[in-house]
Amino acid sequence: MILRAKNIEFYYDSNQKFQIPDISLDAGDQMLVIGKSGSGKTTILNIIAGLLKPKSGSVTIDGTDIYSLKGSQLDKFRGKNIGIIFQKPHILAPLTVEENLQLANFFVRENTQMIEPLLKELGIFDKKKARINTLSEGEAQRVSIARALVNKPKLILADEPTASLDDENAAAVVRLLQTQAKKYNAALIIVTHDQRVKDHIPNLIIIGGQL
């Protein structure tokens, strides 16, 4: 079991608690979390990623209860085991594409030798010296995927990766995430309100009521 989220309780305002189902995924499993805007999708993702401590319950990744980790231990654990892709590709603008990936390696003190193969696979190898502001939106999205994968995570979390893309590109990105996750035998969770993604991943949970 790679991910197990159990009895998670969370609220910003105690009158409005989020309904968060238990989640368990094995290596290579894929899951979709669907819900309308404001339903708490990003919140759930943050909790699973170790970015937001739940009020109660536990998140166990590859046997480690992540919220029992202290300070920088959790940061290192996250860097090593969880790859996060944001809705907008948040690439560090002062760095080149390649340096963005090197930074991910640096923070976990490992050279995973993945930079070149990933950039090649994602078709952005010729952009490795480029800056974010010279990339197209699709290219930037692929860079952020490459960066999420460069530390060979066991769990990949994607927050609305298709929101700003047209049908064709949305499908391509989802397919890309799926093949990469399969290839490195990582569990994949995609969080979205985008109905188009449903066709690709049958295993889904819906939060915050029916859409």
Partner 1 sequence: MNMIKLSWKYLIAKPLSTGLNILLLGLGLAIITVLILIQDQFENKMTKDAEGIDLVVGAKGSPLQLILSSVYHIDFPTGNIDLKDAMALSKNRLVKNIIPLGLGDNYQGYRIVGTNHDYLALYSATFSQGNAWEKPFEVVLGHEVAEKIGLKTGNTFIGSHGIGSSSHEHDAHPYVITGVLAPMGNVLDKLILTSIESVWYTHDEEHDHATHEAPVAKKGFPITDQDREVTSLLIQYRNPIAAVQLPRFINSKSALQAASPSFEISRLFELLGIGVKLIQGLAIVIIIIAGLGIFIALFNSLKERKYDLAVMRTLGASSWQLFLHIVLEGVILTIMGAVVGIAIGHLFLVILVMQNDQGAISTLSAAVFLKEELWILGYAVIVGILASLIPAWNAYQTDIAKQLTKA
Ligand X SMILES: Nc1ncnc2c1ncn2[C@@H]1O[C@H](COP(=O)(O)OP(=O)(O)OP(=O)(O)O)[C@@H](O)[C@H]1O
Residue from 152, 137, 129 nearest 81 by CA: 152
Instruction: Find the binder of partner 1 among 28, 29, 58, 95 (CB under 8 A).
Output: 95
Minimum separation from the CB atom of position 199 to partner 1 (A) = 27
User: Residues 45, 206: contact at Cβ < 8 Å?
Assistant: no
- Look up residue 185 and give its two tokens: 């035998």
Per CB under 8 A, the segment of 17-25, 47-55, 165-173, 184-192 that binds partner 1 is 47-55
Sign of the C-alpha dihedral computed for residues 207, 34, 26 and 55 taken in this order: negative
Candidate residues 37, 133, 195, 210; the one interacting with ligand X per rule CB under 6 A: 37
Cα torsion for 120, 125, 126, 127, to the nearest 10°?
150
| Contact predicate 1/187, CB 8 Å | no
Binding mask 39-78 for ligand X (x = CB under 6 A): xxxxx-----------------------------------
Q: Which of 127, 69, 70 is nearest to 96 (CA)?
A: 127
Contacts with partner 1, residue ranges (CB under 8 A): 42-43, 46, 49, 51-52, 71-72, 75-76, 78-80, 82, 84, 86, 88, 90, 92-95, 99, 102-108, 147, 151
Contacts with ligand X, residue ranges (CB under 6 A): 12, 35, 37-43, 193
Contacts with Mg ion, residue ranges (CB under 5 A): 42
